[in-house]
Structure 1
Amino acid sequence: MDGVADALGPLFLLILLGAALGRLRQPSGEFWAQLEKVIYFLLFPAMLVSTLATANVGEVPVFRLALVLLGSLLVFSGLLWAFHRKLGLEAAAFTSVFQGALRFNTYVGVAGAAALHGSAGATVAAVAVALMVPVVNVLCVASFIATGTLGSSSLGKSLMALVRNPLILACLAGIALNLSGIGLPGWSGTAVELLGRAALPLGLVAVGVALRPQALLRLDRGVWTANLVKLLLLPALVFGVALLLGLDAVSRDVALLFAALPTATSAYILARQLGGDAELMAALITGQTLLAMATLPLWLHLAGS
């Protein structure tokens, strides 16, 4: 347990630092909005390209990792739809619950994997991002379409945003550079790696800035449902399937980490733009991020990390 706490503790401290800076409004709100764009469109894609372009992906059990992560996501996606009428939620609220149950905070995931298992963990995490980001984005956009919260004009914009998603493009670029044997030649490797190093600490601080403590006052059926799936049921399924398929320790830990992550802060923007319940989304992001500081170490301790 001490090893897990030592690995994840500094990450949570950076998130809390961001929460304090956000509370103090230091620097201005406009600064953080612009910094989030730099992280999302430049620094984090650089980290993914750097990791995937030079990694020995052949050592990662990609097929079994995909079965564990994507299979579990699809199972709970189907269950949420099967029970969405019994939940008694309005369409907008259901889309936020859906996002809260399935989306994951990529910054915390990659930083946690690297803290736990070094470069091997970062490589498996980059593969997990390449597998999960396209699927999760398609599922979440589909939930807005199916519930009818967005009009036809917004549909085209959301699909184009999906195609231009910088994380998806970065994963494709990194994999292409790796498979082609080109990698990152000359100075480009060091330059892209330096950019990527800035992504995780800044990303974690930005996660803290995005938290909304006042949203914690909301404790309705939607909050309980999303938190139950995201922090308990989804990690339990992933852990069980990972053991069943015999994943190695690093891949198992990273799969469990990504399953138990709090939902992504970007889900709030998507909820606001596509007709979801933005206030419920804020409650889920804040609550899950704080709760995960306790549940993540417990899950990883259970896995024997």
Structure 2
Amino acid sequence: MQSVADALGPLFLLILLGGLLGRLRQPNGDFWSQLERLIYFLLFPAMLIATLANADVGEVMVVRLAVALLGGMLLFAALLWLAHRRLGLEAAAFTSVFQGALRFNTYVGVAGAAALHGTAGTTVAAVAVALMVPLVNVLCVASFIAAGTLGPSSLGKSLAALCRNPLILACLAGIGLNLTGIGLPGWSGAAVELLGRAALPLGLVAVGVALRPQALLRLDRGVWAANLIKLALMPTAVLALSLLLGLDAVSRDVALLFAALPTATSAYILARQLGGDAELMAALITGQTLLAMATLPLWLHLAGS
């Protein structure tokens, strides 16, 4: 337990630092929104490309990892839709619960995998991102369409944004460079790797800045349902699948880590743009991020990390 705490503790401290800077409004203006765009469109894609382009993906149990992670995600997506009437939520609130239950914070996930297992953990995490990001985006956009919270014009914009998603494009680019044997030749490898190194610490601070403590006052049925799935049921299902599939220790830990991650801060922007319940989304992001500081170490300890 101590080794897990030692690995994840510094990550949580960076998130709390971001929370403090956000409360103090330092730096002021639109600094953080612009930094978040830089991380999302440049730094994090650079990290994914640098990792995937040179990784020995053949050592990763890709199919079994996909079954564990995507199987858990599809299971709870289906269960949520089957139970959405019983939850008694309005359409906008349901889309936020759906995002809160399925989305995951990639910054925390990749940083945690690197802290736990070094380069091997980062490689498996990059593969996990390549597998999960396309599916979770399709599922969440589909939830807005099915709930009827967006019109035809917004639907077109959402699908176009999905095709331009920088994380998806970065994963495709990294895998392409790997499979073709091109890699990142010459100075390009070192340059892209340097860019990528900045993504995780800055991303974690940005996660903290995005927290909204006042949103924690909202504790309705939607909050309980999303938090129960994201922080308890999803990790249980993925851990069980990982053990049944015989994943190696690194892949098992990364799969469990990604299953137990708090929801993504970008979900708030999507909720605002596509007609979701933004206030509920803020409550889920803030609550899950703070709760995960306790639940993530517990899950990884349970898995024997």
Same fold per TM (> 0.5)? yes
Give identity over the alignment, percent. Answer: 85
1:48-59 map, 5 Å: 48-59=48-59
1:125-144 map, 5 Å: 125-144=125-144
Specify the alignment match of 2:284 in structure 1.
Answer: 284
1:39-54 map, 5 Å: 39-54=39-54
The size of the alignment, in residue pairs, is 305
1:165-180 map, 5 Å: 165-180=165-180
Task: Calculate the aligned-residue CA RMSD, in Å.
Answer: 0.3
Give the superposition deviation at 1:223. 0.1
Give the superposition deviation at 1:29. 4.0
Specify the alignment match of 1:249 in structure 2.
Answer: 249
Mapped to 1, the partners of 2:71 and 2:292 lie a distance apart of 22
Mapped to 1, the partners of 2:194 and 2:241 lie a distance apart of 36
TM-score of the aligned structures, taking structure 1 as reference length: 1.00
Q: Does 1:68 align with 2:68?
A: yes
Mapped to 1, the partners of 2:215 and 2:236 lie a distance apart of 27
- Runs of 4+ in structure 1 over 4 Å off: none
Q: Secondary structure at the match of 1:63?
A: helix
Greater mean deviation of Cα atoms: 182-191 or 28-37: 28-37
After superposition, give the CA deviation of every residue in 1:151-192 in whole Å (9 maximum; x if it has no partner): 001000000000000000000000000000000000000000
Give the superposition deviation at 1:43. 0.1
1:198-237 map, 5 Å: 198-237=198-237
Specify the alignment match of 2:82 in structure 1.
Answer: 82
Specify the alignment match of 2:9 in structure 1.
Answer: 9
Mapped to 2, the partners of 1:159 and 1:245 lie a distance apart of 34
Q: Give the counterpart letter for 1:173 in structure 2.
A: A
Q: Secondary structure at the match of 1:83?
A: helix
Mapped to 1, the partners of 2:32 and 2:72 lie a distance apart of 34
Q: Does 1:297 align with 2:305?
A: no
Mapped to 1, the partners of 2:253 and 2:181 lie a distance apart of 29
Q: Give the counterpart letter for 2:245 in structure 1.
A: L
Q: Give the counterpart letter for 2:26 in structure 1.
A: Q
Mapped to 1, the partners of 2:241 and 2:210 lie a distance apart of 33
Q: Does 1:104 align with 2:104?
A: yes
Mapped to 1, the partners of 2:101 and 2:71 lie a distance apart of 15
Give the superposition deviation at 1:28. 1.1
Specify the alignment match of 1:194 in structure 2.
Answer: 194
Mapped to 2, the partners of 1:33 and 1:241 lie a distance apart of 38
Mapped to 1, the partners of 2:60 and 2:28 lie a distance apart of 42
Q: Give the counterpart letter for 1:39 in structure 2.
A: I
Q: Secondary structure at the match of 2:13?
A: helix
Mapped to 1, the partners of 2:270 and 2:224 lie a distance apart of 21
Give the superposition deviation at 1:34. 0.3
Mapped to 1, the partners of 2:244 and 2:156 lie a distance apart of 41
1:15-54 map, 5 Å: 15-54=15-54
Give the superposition deviation at 1:196. 0.0
Q: Give the counterpart letter for 1:229 in structure 2.
A: I
Mapped to 2, the partners of 1:5 and 1:49 lie a distance apart of 29
Mapped to 2, the partners of 1:256 and 1:212 lie a distance apart of 26
After superposition, give the CA deviation of every residue in 1:208-237 in whole Å (9 maximum; x if it has no partner): 000000000000000000000000000000
Specify the alignment match of 2:270 in structure 1.
Answer: 270
